[in-house]
Amino acid sequence: MIRRPPRSTPKPSSAASDVYKRQRQELINGLRVSDQKLSEDVESSCFIFESIPVVPNDVLKEVVRQLPPDDVITAISGATKEIKEAVILCFPEQSRKALISSLKSKTPEKEEVRTARRKFVDSMREMADAERVNLRDVNSAFANQAAVPALQ
């Protein structure tokens, strides 16, 4: 059995995550100001993994339950506390402890996480195509969470 050495690099700080989130929101807000039609098109067809906490619960539950549990755990590895909570709460109460235990013990490679998150994003876009969720509403709610003032 080959054992991987413990991670030597720390997880990104929340300050770094906040900077990235702020930059993304400034970009979205700037696009809204400069080209509203393009902004609407982009926001209606794109799903940002980090916006999971603002996805309507019924839609998130459906997406989470469609994916294999191992992919779900891999996808939320290294995610924010809010994302982990939103996703774990989609599972039946009796299975949550096992999921949390799996999450703590799992140390997937970056590519595995990226692949699992892609499945999440694809499922969410399928829900949008089926008109089960409005991605523009999700993106707007996510942008409003960032508390970044709109560019004037």
Write out pLDDT tens, residues 1-20.
444 444 444 444 344 445 55
Query: pTM of the prediction?
Result: 0.72
SS3 42: helix
Write out pLDDT tens, residues 66-84.
999 999 999 999 999 999 9
**Residues 113/77, Cβ–Cβ less than 8 Å:** yes
Burial degree of 94 (CB within 10 A; 0-12, 13-18, 19+): exposed
